[in-house]
Chain A
Amino acid sequence: MGDYCLPQSLTELRAALSDGKAHILAGGTDFYPQRVGQPLPKNIVDITNMSDLKGIRETDDFWHFGAITTWRDILDANLPLLFDGLKTAAREVGGQQVQNAGTIGGNLCNASPAADGVPVFLSLGASVELSTGERTRTINLADFITGNRKTVLRSGEILTAVLVPKTGSPQVKSLFLKLGARKYLVISMVMVAIVVEMDEAGIITTCRIAIGACSEVAMRLDGLEQVITGREKNKDLAALVTADHLAALAPVTDVRASREYRLDAALTLVRRALDTLGRGA
Chain B
Amino acid sequence: MDLTFRVNGKNYPLTLAPATRLSDVLRDHLGLIGTKVGCNAGDCGACTVLVEDRQICACMMSAQQAAEKDITTVEGLGGQELLNDLQAAFLRHGAVQCGICTPGMLMAASDLLRRNQTPNRVQVEDALGGVLCRCTGYQKIIEAVMDVTASFSDAATAPSKSVGVSIAKLDGPAKLTGTEIFGADAIPADCLWVKIIRSPFASADIELGDFADIISRTEGLEGILTHKDVPFNRFGIYATGKDQPVLAETCVRYRGDAIVAVVGTREGVVKITLADLLIRLTEKPPVAGIAAAKAPGAAQLHADKPGNLLIEGQVLKSTAREAPQATDITVEGRFETSFVEHAYIEPEAGWAQPVGPHGSRGLEMHVTTQTAAMDRAEIASILQIDAGRVRVLPTACGGGFGGKLDLSVQPVLAVAALRFNKPVACVYERPESMAASTKRHPTEIACKFTARRDGRLVSVDMTAEFNTGAYASWGPTVAERVPVHGSGPYYVPNVHVTGRAYFTNSPPSGAFRGFGVPQAAIAHEAMMDDLAEAIGVDRLDIRLLNAVRCGDETATGQVLQASAGLAECLQKLQPHWTKLTAATSSFNQQNQRGPIRKGVGIGAMWYGIGNTAISNPSTMDVGIGRDGSLVLFNGAVDIGQGSNTILPQICADALGLPVQKFSYIMGDTDLTRDAGKTSASRQTFVSGKAAEIAGTALRGQILRHANAGTGARLDLAGTTLRIVEDGTVREIELSGLASDKDGMVFRAEGRFDPPTMPLDGNGQGVPYATYGFAAQIAEVSVDLDLGTTRVTRILAAHDVGRAINPQQVEGQIHGGIAQGLGMALMEEYIPGKTENLHDYLIPTIGDMPEIDVFIIEDPEPLGPFGAKGVGEPGLVPTAPAIFSAIRNATGVRVTRAPMLPHRLRAAILRQARTSG
Contact = CB atoms under 8 A, between A and B. Distances in A.
Interface string A6-49: 10000000000000000001011101110011111000101010
What bracket does the count of chain B residues touching chain A fall in? 35 or more
A32 B838 contact: no
Contacts of B57: 29, 97-98, 101
A53 B270 CA distance: 34
Nearest to A42: B19
B902 A268 contact: no
Contacts of A72: 54
Interface in B258-273: 267, 270-271
Contacts of A249: none
A269 B787 CA distance: 12
B848 to A, nearest CB: 9
Given A46-B65, A96-B130, A101-B60, A183 B844 contact: yes
B17 A4 contact: yes
Contacts of B1: 4
Given A46-B65, A101-B56, A183-B846, A268 B785 contact: yes
Given A3-B19, A25-B19, A185 B844 contact: yes
A39 B838 contact: no
A37 B40 contact: yes
B913 interface: no
Given A96-B126, A179-B788, A32 B828 contact: no
A4 B18 contact: yes
A186 B64 CA distance: 29
Contact of B130 (A3, A97, A258): A97
Interface in B643-660: none
Given A96-B108, A182-B841, A38 B41 contact: no
Nearest to A261: B902
Contacts of B530: none
Contacts of B267: 39
A212 to B, nearest CB: 16
B695 interface: no
Contacts of B45: 95, 97, 185
A3 B877 CA distance: 55
A188 B43 CA distance: 15
Interface string B167-185: 0000000000000000000
A239 interface: no
Contacts of B786: 179, 265, 268-269
A31 B22 CA distance: 14
B60 A255 contact: no
A61 interface: no
A214 interface: no
Contacts of A28: 60-62, 65
A142 to B, nearest CB: 27
Contacts of B19: 3-4, 25, 40, 44
A36 B429 contact: yes
A221 interface: no
B828 to A, nearest CB: 7
A182 B844 contact: yes
Contact of B841 (A33, A37, A96, A181): A181
Interface in B821-837: 825-826, 828, 830, 833-834, 836
Nearest to B22: A28
A37 B347 CA distance: 13
Interface in A79-98: 91, 94-98
B127 to A, nearest CB: 6
B21 A185 contact: no
A contact patch SS: loop
A24 to B, nearest CB: 12
B43 A185 contact: yes
A238 B19 CA distance: 50
B755 interface: no
A31 B906 CA distance: 37
A58 interface: no
B65 A48 contact: yes
A109 B728 CA distance: 82
Nearest to B49: A97
A187 interface: yes
Contacts of B429: 36-37
Interface string A158-189: 00000000000000000000010111111101
A37 B270 contact: yes
A46 B63 CA distance: 11
Interface in B104-154: 108, 111, 125-127, 129-132
Interface string B394-436: 0000000000000000000000000000000000011110000
B130 A36 contact: no
Contacts of B130: 94-98, 184-185
B370 interface: no
Contacts of A97: 42, 45, 48, 55-57, 60, 108, 130
A93 B54 CA distance: 16
Interface string B458-486: 00000000000000000000000000000
A39 B20 CA distance: 10
B853 interface: no
A44 B18 CA distance: 10
Nearest to A31: B60
A72 B111 CA distance: 13
Contacts of A257: 900-902
Given A94-B42, A96-B129, A255-B830, A39 B270 contact: yes
Interface in B30-79: 39-43, 45, 48, 54-57, 59-62, 64-65
A101 B429 CA distance: 23
Contacts of B20: 40
A184 B41 contact: no
Nearest to B126: A96
Contact of B839 (A39, A100, A255): A255
A260 interface: yes
A100 B900 CA distance: 30
B56 A100 contact: yes
Nearest to A40: B19
Contacts of B905: 261, 264-265
A33 B61 CA distance: 11
Which of B111, B271, B432, B900 has the most A CB atoms < 10 Å from its CB?
Answer: B900
A123 B430 CA distance: 36
A25 B900 CA distance: 35
A265 B784 CA distance: 11
B354 interface: no
A71 to B, nearest CB: 12
Contacts of A98: 42, 57, 60, 130
A37 B431 contact: yes
A133 B27 CA distance: 37
A25 B129 CA distance: 25
A28 B467 CA distance: 39
A98 B841 CA distance: 17
A116 to B, nearest CB: 13
A29 B42 contact: yes
B843 interface: yes
B552 interface: no
8 contacts: A4-B1, A4-B19, A28-B62, A44-B18, A97-B56, A101-B61, A184-B844, A185-B43
- Nearest 7 interchain pairs by C-beta: A95-B130, A183-B846, A184-B129, A261-B902, A33-B41, A37-B429, A4-B18
Interface of B: 1, 17-21, 39-43, 45, 48, 54-57, 59-62, 64-65, 108, 111, 125-127, 129-132, 267, 270-271, 429-432, 785-788, 825-826, 828, 830, 833-834, 836, 838-839, 841, 843-847, 900-902, 905-906, 909
Given A36-B430, A181-B841, 10 more contacts: A32-B41, A36-B429, A97-B42, A179-B901, A182-B826, A184-B129, A185-B838, A186-B841, A254-B833, A268-B786
Interface of A: 3-4, 6, 25, 27-29, 31-33, 36-40, 44, 46, 48, 72, 91, 94-98, 100-101, 179, 181-187, 189, 254-258, 260-261, 264-265, 268-269
